[in-house]
Amino acid sequence: MAHETPAATTGGPRAATAPGRAPSSLTQGAVTRGGIGESTLRPDGVLKVTGEFAYSSDLWHEDMLWGYTLRSTVAHAKILSIDTGEALATSGVYAVLTHDDLPTEVKHYGLEIRDTPVLAHGKVRHHGEPVALVAADHPETARRAAAKIRVVYEELLVITDEASATAPGALLVHEGRDDHHSGHVPHPNIVHRQPIVRGDAAAAAARADVVVTGEYVFGMQDQAFLGPESGLAVPAQDGGVDLYVATQWLHSDLRQIAPVLGLPESKVRMTLSGVGGAFGGREDLSMQIHGCLLALRTGKPVKIVYNRFESFFGHVHRHPAKLRYEHGATRDGKLTHVRCRIVLDGGAYASASPAVVGNAASLSVGPYVVDDVDIEAIALYTNNPPCGAMRGFGAVQACFAYEAQMDRVAAELGMDPVEFRQLNAMEQGTIMPTGQAVDSPAPVAELLRRVKAMPMPPERQWEVAGGAPDVRALPGGLSNTTHGEGVVRGVGYAVGIKNVGFSEGFDDYSTARVRIEAINGEAVATVHTAMAEVGQGGVTVHAQIARSELGVAQVTIQPADTRVGSAGSTSASRQTYMTGGAVKNTCEAVREKVLDIGRRKFGTYHPAWATAELLLESGKVVTDGGEALAGIAEVLEDESVDLELEFRHRPTQAFDLRTGQGNGHVQYSFAAHRAVVEVDTELGLVKVVELACAQDVGKALNPLSVVGQIQGGTTQGLGIAVMEEIVVDPKTAKVRNPSFTDYLIPTILDTPTIPVDVLELADEHAPYGLRGVGEAPTLSSTPAVLAAIRAATGLELNRTPVRPEHLTGVR
Amino acid sequence: MRVTFDVNGRRQEADDVWEGESLLYVLRERMGLPGSKNACEQGECGSCTVRLDGLPVCSCLVAAGQAEGRQVVTVEGLAGENGELSTVQQAFVDAGAVQCGFCTPGLLVAADELLERNPEPSDGDIREALSGNLCRCTGYEKILDAVRLAAARAEQAV
């Protein structure tokens, strides 16, 4: 394991301003081998278990200041005045900035629609909106100074739902919209609307023997990554700034930061620091611009670290949704049609709402064959907290509703819910509601079969022979609320479909730079990308790919930064496909160059150099027949090969704004769950006993990591099923539970065993046949748990998360 | 104020400490030991877990002055003198219990303490002992694997 600072690896102008603690290169050599398909261990694992790994909140610079953000205490108000005088006069304070201090005419940012003020101007649109910034020599000094800033608000009526957003005379959350969705939306408080119409739903409904309608509510979920938003901005001598930060997409940040600072992108040098989880919550900017503004203003390095309270306001959440569905089926169990309307609450700023709408609409029917559909999805502008990307991205909310519907239709028909799903399951060749053919394996029925075939967990696991029950295995756990009285078991199933990669015509690409050289007689490789390693294990996989493609043992992964081309976002289950694909693609080109050098030097000595297909394996150039021709180091000698190339997936198309037709997605991924729950029906407490998952991953590049992704995604789905919800007061639009005391995520006692069955059916269009893994398990987990609770209780349960009062009727 | 206490067997001192600073803040920002993590700073997540005179505590909820003259063990103190990983650290790496790793330091300190007092924990014991440590990435299955593995290896080594 090599420990190098960026200064040591890069030299150049950064050396003068490098922090005292900074991200390091990761080198794995002879000890940890392993190409694709092997459960190679993480190259950052040792740093992470020793406490040496440099997370963004761990960064430190001599002489650094601490930044702090003053946020609005109300959700919707005019700002009448801001008085910073007393704060500025506080000893230890170096700067106080408001909207008026922004250096250029660009005062807003945003992922797709640039509607978010860097600092509030004249108005705040949600609780916790940034209003002013303070830099001071101690974090407590900065906090106390911020408390001395006097902001006078004149409160406005809050818009909190569809009715208040579209009521006659409703206030507009954003006046004078001119974004590219503003022309086709039915109301300025609707960010984007995507209908999908295919076939003739009315005619098909007439053929239905049973029709089931339902209305569903999905709560607001928080990503709750553990590493808080944080970073360190260091002013540079050239007038630029070096920013060390935890993010999901360096280059997207860069595009949004540089114009606000009035700097060319080349003068905003970004380095990814250790990221403590992301799950979509770091797609949008948090402290990036604020830190840079304070650093440039004070001429000193500025570190900003949110605490958990602030983190709940510092990133977007998963869209809460209201969903109305109508499913029809014939007596023999075939779906006739689906009508649905999905209303997503985007909150005060657009963030990723348009893309979430596209996903919710296009995946709203689920992994089933339905020829006749009438679908509409919209996202609202309201004064609720802004919502955007979170693992599953629009597909999660839809899956919760359509899987509840599938159970209800099966019950109406008197059919087994799994058999009913299998009867309607899509397969390769199925046409989606968008008109797009699914052109790779879609083993929906098989995943359901597999998850159903897993052995069931034993009954009454809490019983201890000859002793008191183990309450840890019972609903209520260590609260000791039951010893088994009133506890009823239920089993539920669900399956989902998620797109992989960026859709709807987006030019989705990634870049990888790969270098091969000989050091001390051994060929070694260096991989440099801007991929955000957020915990998923991309760095592990990149080294595995380089080993497989280049036949080397030692691979160094350089810190991700903006000196190399964009890797795109660590989201949409896309990074192994896209940046993994980019590393593979560049390695193949590097290999050809190595072979060219070999042919030039040794071609005359052996005819196979010209005639055979050549590979790089175990440090040697070998023929496809296995004959070794030369050592790679021998071929390279003092030469090196160093290439940086872009990689793209197949192009996609925008969805038609009227019909929703279009080949909008790149790839689909599928997972199925079986949930076994035990419910204390008297107290309304739920113990999830087991959450079994079967998922098709195309090709498991690292089986250990793949299973880890599936278990982690499954657990986030469990969270929104039974405990997680950001509670927003409907009268004030203020967040009521911004803490881990009141916003509960599953602990190890809440989380059941999660047996995983991994299926590998290659997608011939994807690198190595792989399928993006990260999101699909978050979809079906939630509806499976809900189905199991319904089976245990007989209750309808049309909202998630389920709380005790929903099970007992007692409030 | 000045605070003086032992961290991982070494005497540490910090000057100009504001009375409101937590043990976590002093470890991370004044003593150059950022291994203990700051995920919630409200005693709910366990990422800042250290041992204070042997007992696991949330260092974010301990005022730095309360540690005066006492023994603190952090994640940085788990590895051997020459940097060799402890049994529980190695098991976390081997079992795939580390993803983003932000919860890992606190979990390691808690698991180390569990195995010290209960070398053969049942799954229920492991879940109970680690229930104060939130992890958002793994779904905990690999963490259970890691603690089981560490216990098995420690037993083999005896």
Taking only the tens place, the pLDDT of each residue in A737-765 is 999 999 999 999 999 999 999 999 999 99
Question: What is the C-alpha to C-alpha distance for residues A801 and A580, in angstroms, rounded to an integer?
Answer: 36
CA distances from A638 to A513, A619, A632 (A): 19, 16, 11
Closest residue to B99, CB basis, from A470, A472, A537: A537
| Least Cα separation, residue A53 to chain B (angstroms) | 8
Chain A residues in contact with B47 by the CB 8 A cut-off are 226
CA distances from A233 to A137, A230, A635 (A): 15, 10, 44
Residue type for position A258 = A
One-character DSSP codes across A49-63: HHT-S-BGGG-B-TT
* Cβ distance of A276 and B78 shorter than 8 Å: no
Question: What is the C-alpha to C-alpha distance for residues A395 and A388, in angstroms, rounded to an integer?
Answer: 13
Question: pLDDT tens across A289-335, in order?
Answer: 999 999 999 999 999 999 999 999 999 999 999 999 999 999 999 99
Q: Quick one: which H or E segment has residue B101? A: none
Contact A59, A22 (CB under 8 A): yes
**Phi, psi dihedral angles at A771 (to 5 degrees):** -130, 135
End-to-end CA distance of chain B: 46
* Cβ distance of A57 and B38 shorter than 8 Å: yes
| pLDDT on residue A30 | 53
Query: Which residues 163-222 of chain A have a CB within 8 Å of chain B?
Result: none
Contact B133, B103 (CB under 8 A): yes
Question: What is the C-alpha to C-alpha distance for residues A304 and A66, in angstroms, rounded to an integer?
Answer: 6
Chain A residues in contact with B37 by the CB 8 A cut-off are 55, 57, 226-227, 276
**Predicted structure pTM score:** 0.97
Confidence class of residue A601 from pLDDT cuts 50, 70 and 90?
very high
Mean pLDDT of A563-574: 98
| pLDDT on residue A72 | 98
Q: Could you tell me which residue, B137 or A23, shows the higher pLDDT?
A: B137
| pLDDT on residue A133 | 98
- Cα pseudo-dihedral A250, A251, A254, A256, rounded to 10: -110
CB-based contact (8 Å) between A330 and chain B? no
| pLDDT on residue A3 | 37
Handedness of CA A518, A523, A528, A529 (dihedral sign): positive
Q: Helix A417-424 to helix A395-413 angle, to the nearest 10 degrees?
A: 110
Closest residue to A51, CB basis, from B41, B103, B105: B105
Question: pLDDT tens across A522-557, in order?
Answer: 999 999 999 999 999 999 999 999 999 999 999 999
**Nearest 5°: CA angle at A308, between A305 and A314?**
70
Question: What is the C-alpha to C-alpha distance for residues A17 and A675, in angstroms, rounded to an integer?
Answer: 53
Determine which of A41, A42, A48 to mutate to test the interface with B (most B C-beta atoms within 10 Å). A48
Question: pLDDT tens across A763-775, in order?
Answer: 999 999 999 999 9
β-bridge partners, B56:
B51
Q: Which residue of A has its CA nearest to B27?
A: A58
> Which residue from B128, B130, B122 is spatially nearest to B148, judged by alpha carbons?
B122
Confidence class of residue A14 from pLDDT cuts 50, 70 and 90?
very low
Contact B101, B142 (CB under 8 A): no
Q: What is chain A's alpha carbon radius of gyration, rounded to the nearest angstrom?
A: 27
| pLDDT on residue A7 | 33
Structure tokens at A32: 């940890």
Contact A531, A575 (CB under 8 A): yes
Question: pLDDT tens across A436-493, in order?
Answer: 999 999 999 999 999 999 999 999 999 999 999 999 999 999 999 999 999 999 999 9
* Cβ distance of A45 and B92 shorter than 8 Å: yes
Burial class, B117, CB count within 10 angstroms (exposed 0-12 / middle 13-18 / buried 19+): exposed
Contact B136, B121 (CB under 8 A): no
Three-state DSSP class for residue A178: coil
| Least Cα separation, residue A46 to chain B (angstroms) | 7
Mean pLDDT of A128-137: 98
| pLDDT on residue A803 | 96
Question: What is the C-alpha to C-alpha distance for residues A346 and A382, in angstroms, rounded to an integer?
Answer: 7
The single residue listed with the structure tokens 């295919």 is A198
**Nearest 5°: CA angle at B114, between B108 and B115?**
90
β-bridge partners, A555:
A28, A525
Strands A230-235 and A241-245, bridge-based pairing: antiparallel
* Cβ distance of A277 and B136 shorter than 8 Å: yes
For residue A651, count other CB atoms closer than 10 A to its CB: 11
CA distances from A82 to A124, A153, A297, A751 (A): 13, 9, 19, 47
Residue type for position A604 = T
Closest residue to A534, CB basis, from B45, B100, B127: B100
Question: What is the C-alpha to C-alpha distance for residues A623 and A614, in angstroms, rounded to an integer?
Answer: 5
Structure tokens at A326: 């109508």
β-bridge partners, A344:
A321, A379
Residue A158 CB partners (closer than 8 Å, separation 6+)? A75, A76, A164, A382, A383, A731, A732, A733
> Which residue from A402, A631, A355 is spatially nearest to A503, judged by alpha carbons?
A355
Confidence class of residue A29 from pLDDT cuts 50, 70 and 90?
low
The single residue listed with the structure tokens 């600073």 is B21
Question: What is the C-alpha to C-alpha distance for residues A379 and A353, in angstroms, rounded to an integer?
Answer: 6
Structure tokens at A138: 């101690």
Contact A87, A145 (CB under 8 A): yes
| pLDDT on residue A6 | 34
**Phi, psi dihedral angles at A306 (to 5 degrees):** -75, 150
Flag whether pLDDT at A12 surpasses 90: no
| pLDDT on residue A236 | 97
| pLDDT on residue A8 | 33
Query: What is the rounded average pLDDT for all residues in chain A?
Result: 96
Structure tokens at A166: 């579209």
Question: What is the C-alpha to C-alpha distance for residues B88 and B97, in angstroms, rounded to an integer?
Answer: 11
- Count A/B contacts: CB-CB distance under 8 Å: 186
For chain B, which ranges sit under pLDDT 70?
A: none
Q: What is the DSSP letter of B59?
A: G
Contact B14, B2 (CB under 8 A): yes
Contact A644, A565 (CB under 8 A): yes
Chain A residues in contact with B76 by the CB 8 A cut-off are 50-52
Confidence class of residue A21 from pLDDT cuts 50, 70 and 90?
confident
Confidence class of residue A23 from pLDDT cuts 50, 70 and 90?
confident
Mean pLDDT of A187-191: 98
Chain A residues in contact with B39 by the CB 8 A cut-off are 226-228, 276, 308
Preceding amide of A801 cis, omega within 30: yes
Counting residues of chain A whose pLDDT is more than 90, the rounded percentage is 95
Q: Could you tell me which residue, A465 or A29, shows the higher pLDDT?
A: A465
| pLDDT on residue A19 | 78
Question: pLDDT tens across A331-385, in order?
Answer: 999 999 999 999 999 999 999 999 999 999 999 999 999 999 999 999 999 999 9
Question: What is the C-alpha to C-alpha distance for residues B154 and B147, in angstroms, rounded to an integer?
Answer: 10
Mean pLDDT of A711-732: 98
Strands A685-696 and A756-759, bridge-based pairing: parallel
Q: Which residue of B has its CA nearest to A690?
A: B141
Question: pLDDT tens across A621-662, in order?
Answer: 999 999 999 999 999 999 999 999 999 999 999 999 999 999
Contact A293, A97 (CB under 8 A): yes
> Which residue from A270, A273, A292, A280 is spatially nearest to A248, judged by alpha carbons?
A280
Question: What is the C-alpha to C-alpha distance for residues A685 and B126, in angstroms, rounded to an integer?
Answer: 22
| pLDDT on residue A4 | 35
Structure tokens at A503: 């859709």
Burial class, B95, CB count within 10 angstroms (exposed 0-12 / middle 13-18 / buried 19+): buried
Flag whether pLDDT at A9 surpasses 50: no
Confidence class of residue A17 from pLDDT cuts 50, 70 and 90?
low
Question: What is the C-alpha to C-alpha distance for residues A132 and A73, in angstroms, rounded to an integer?
Answer: 12
Mean pLDDT of A67-82: 98
Q: Could you tell me which residue, A277 or A7, shows the higher pLDDT?
A: A277
